[in-house]
Amino acid sequence: MAILDADKVSMKFGGLVALDKVSFQVEPGEILGIIGPNGAGKSTLYNVLSGVYRPTSGQIHFQGENITGMKPHKIASKGLVRTYQASDKLFMSLSVSENVQIGCHIPSKTRILGDVFRISSVRRNEHEVRQRADGIVKMAGLTELASELARNLSHGYQRALGVAIGIATGPKILCLDEPLTGMNAEERRHMLGLVKNVRKSGITVLLVEHDMGAVMSICDRIVVINFGRKIAEGNPDQVRNNKDVIEAYLGKG
């Protein structure tokens, strides 16, 4: 069964149709790329999937449950998590490790009760959180920077930390919004390694990204959107050679 199922999802802003009956499914464990020219509707699609906007029509099912119109925090707590630009979600004056530990606390509702009733179990929990955070820091390739303050990281590593925090919240699907923007070659390589590790850990990945080389190299399948409509879907080779896709990117000769 698909982990995520978007069925004829439309989003209108006044007279503008930003998404027009977009349907696609995400299989568990895959890296699914979502591409399209500027203004195609990719960010709008993320906003609709994550509950920032309620779609004008259509339905979204996550793990078999209808999540259409649910609030963002509710959807996130079910395991559909999106990452944002690094700078607005990081605690700049805390270390890499502390940032990830905070991410680890976001889903653990039991901890609040633990704080009140069982101090010893809280301590044990704290130890577990630190261990889990260490594992995620390692997976993000940031072990050597674990005690560095977030503000001292380069742009690329700040974005990697943003992804690490996303992982810490325990997602089933992680939706990455242009994770490679503004990166140098080394940071880009690092981020691509991280995305592969995310998938290896069993988390399904949605990837909106303009860097075609990266998308083609890392995605199992790709959905192409143009003017709010899905115009193609398939593996990288199928998409690369699709006439409508070539036209959308290069214009009609």
Ligand X SMILES: Nc1ncnc2c1ncn2[C@@H]1O[C@H](COP(=O)(O)OP(=O)(O)OP(=O)(O)O)[C@@H](O)[C@H]1O
Interface with Mg ion (CB under 5 A): 43
User: How many Cα atoms occupy the beta-carbon half-sphere of 143 within 13 Å?
Assistant: 8
Stretch that binds ligand X, among 34-42, 66-74, 98-106, 159-167 (CB under 6 A): 34-42
Three-state DSSP state, 180: coil
Smallest gap from Cβ 244 to ligand X, in A, equals 16
Q: Which of 4, 6, 44, 140 binds ligand X (CB under 6 A)?
A: 44
> 16 or 119: whose CB is closer to ligand X?
16
Could you say which DSSP state residue 184 is in?
-
> 42 or 190: whose CB is closer to ligand X?
42
Is there a contact between 85 and 106 (Cβ–Cβ < 8 Å)?
no
Stretch that binds ligand X, among 11-19, 133-141, 146-154, 158-166 (CB under 6 A): 11-19
Q: Which of 32, 42, 174, 222 binds ligand X (CB under 6 A)?
A: 42
Query: Site residues for ligand X, window 157-196 (CB under 6 A)?
Result: none
Smallest gap from Cβ 43 to Mg ion, in A, equals 3
Three-state DSSP state, 58: strand
b/e sequence 58-97, b meaning 16+ C-beta within 10 Å: bebbbbeeebbebeeeebbbbbbbbbeebeeebeeeebbb
> 16 or 92: whose CB is closer to ligand X?
16
Q: Which of 10, 25, 43, 242 binds ligand X (CB under 6 A)?
A: 43
Residue 13 touches which of Mg ion, ligand X, none (Cβ within 5-8 Å per kind): ligand X
Stretch that binds ligand X, among 38-46, 102-110, 197-205, 238-246 (CB under 6 A): 38-46
Query: Which residues lie across from 224 on neighbouring strands?
Result: 35, 232
Start-end of H helices in 14-154: 42-49, 72-78, 86-89, 96-105, 110-117, 119-139
- 40 interacts with ligand X by CB under 6 A: yes
Is there a contact between 45 and 56 (Cβ–Cβ < 8 Å)?
no
Q: Which of 18, 32, 164, 195 binds ligand X (CB under 6 A)?
A: 18
Residue 245 touches which of Mg ion, ligand X, none (Cβ within 5-8 Å per kind): none
Smallest gap from Cβ 42 to Mg ion, in A, equals 5
Q: How far apart are CA 18 and CA 72, in angstroms?
A: 20
Which contiguous run of DSSP H or E holds residue 199? helix 185-200
Cα–chain center distance at 120: 35
Q: Which of 38, 93, 120, 147 binds ligand X (CB under 6 A)?
A: 38
- 15 interacts with ligand X by CB under 6 A: no
Q: Footprint of ligand X on this chain (CB under 6 A)?
A: 13, 16, 18, 36, 38-44
